Amino acid sequence: MGGALDSFDDYTRRVETWARADHRVLGIALLGSGADRSRIDEWSDHDLLVLALPEAVDELRADLSWLPDADRLVAVGREWHDGIKALFDDGRVLELGIADPAGLRSFPLAAAQVVYDAGPLAEGLEAARAGTRTREVDGPADAVAVLMVQLVVGVGRLRRGERLSGGQVVRGEAALTLVDLVLSRSGCAHPDPFDGWRRFETVRPGAAARLDAILARPAEEAARGILDLAEELLAPGWEAWPAAGVSAVRRRLWP
């Protein structure tokens, strides 16, 4: 851990040194794992937000030669929403957002660690946080009904021959609905405000391990495993548990 953190911090310092010397830059912040040092490990990428003068934003996006280790970049992808993903020759990953003060106010973020601020960054980050819409989750009664439907739809597609689509419904949609239900029924907040899958293992490690094993099975077996696990973990003590719905799913799919 110490080596990974030292390497992470070393690159952050190099970015900060560049930012302080470049008149186009108004601030630097770390997002993602960088906003919470307890989460940084050897797999943490640098998720950087660069605040720049309005006239410099396009220039900085178009030419990344200003980045420390820019000569070691082997892949750069510019996404439709103006984000940039980059890969260095040693496997390090960089996610980059570049905005001016006006654009920062609508930048989606939940947490940030300021590295360098020439003035407007802190205020802009606060406005961005206030305006960010995080992931919304259905209430338990609605979510469990959705789960029943997802399982029937997913298995139906599998049996129709739509293996990719049906598998995605089972392993993606239904499994994530189960994660949401397990967290909400146990009184745990989602550990990530945007991605319902992230860090489920940190709050419900046992359930996460069992779900991971279930999802490694063939898709229809995984669907049945999701239903079994949902019933085992959620039904006890839940007066509104839809037993009739579960029975209907089993009759329809596995009579």
- Per-residue pLDDT 10s for the chain (255 aa) are 568 888 999 999 999 999 999 999 999 999 988 888 888 889 889 999 999 999 999 999 999 999 999 999 999 999 877 899 999 999 999 999 999 999 999 888 888 999 999 999 999 999 999 888 888 888 999 999 999 999 999 999 999 999 999 999 999 999 999 999 999 998 888 888 888 899 999 999 999 999 999 999 999 999 999 999 999 999 999 999 999 999 999 999 999
Asked if CATH classification 3.30.460.10 holds for the domain at 2-131, the reply, yes or no, is yes
Question: Which uninterrupted H or E stretch holds 110?
Answer: none
The gap between the terminal CA atoms of the chain, to the nearest Å, is 51
CB 181 within 8 A of CB 230: yes
CB 172 within 8 A of CB 208: no
- Cα(223)–Cα(8) distance, integer angstroms: 40
List the chain domain ranges. Answer: 2-131, 140-253
- Cα(234)–Cα(255) distance, integer angstroms: 23
Chain centroid to CA 130: 19
CA distance readout (Å), 116 to 5, 12, 20, 145 = 19, 10, 8, 48
